[in-house]
Amino acid sequence: MTAQNAKGNVGEHGVGRVLEITRVFDAPRKVVFAAWTDPKQVAEWWGPKGFTNPVCELDVRPGGAILIHMRAPDGVVYPMSGVYKEIVPPEKIVFTSIALDKDGKAMFENLNTVIFSERDGKTIVQLRTEVLKSSAAAEQPLAGMEMGWNMTLDRLEAHVGKN
């Protein structure tokens, strides 16, 4: 089950754009939460279909850093950094994600809030991502943000289904 929409007052280069996606996973909340906080697990499902994550470093605590290098099927690497803002196990994760260009400069920064709730042994994940900062170079990646998150959540669903 998926519910999603993009809304908000969108400024220059998509700043202020909000994407909300709700998914139900057939797995206990502690399993789904662990999949978001264990770097070995995140490396297995993060990113669109066909991507791998040769670098996946997570310091899961407020102020802790995130560094993920997503490798596309064609071999191009897309680095992402960020900082954890809030961690409430197993209920909530708030973090920034900053897409970096080939020179290591920020193309855009998003604030991501992930809420985990459990009902009847299943986990409801509510993802909200808001574009905080953006450059002209971010227009194409941001245009694919909804599709990218949905593919990523599809991979998460397959991952937690194995556990």
Ranges of the chain with pLDDT below 70:
1-14, 163
**Rounded to two decimals, what is the model's pTM?**
0.89
Q: What is the pLDDT of residues 3-30, one digit of tens each?
A: 444 444 445 556 788 999 999 999 999 9
Predicted pLDDT of residue 14: 65
Are 138 and 107 within 8 A, CB to CB?
yes
Query: Tell me, which fold does domain 2-149 have in CATH?
Result: Alpha-D-Glucose-1,6-Bisphosphate; Chain A, domain 4 (3.30.530)
Question: Which residues have CB under 8 Å from 10's CB, separation 6+?
Answer: 16, 17
pLDDT in tens, 49-62: 999 999 999 999 99
pLDDT, position 142: 79
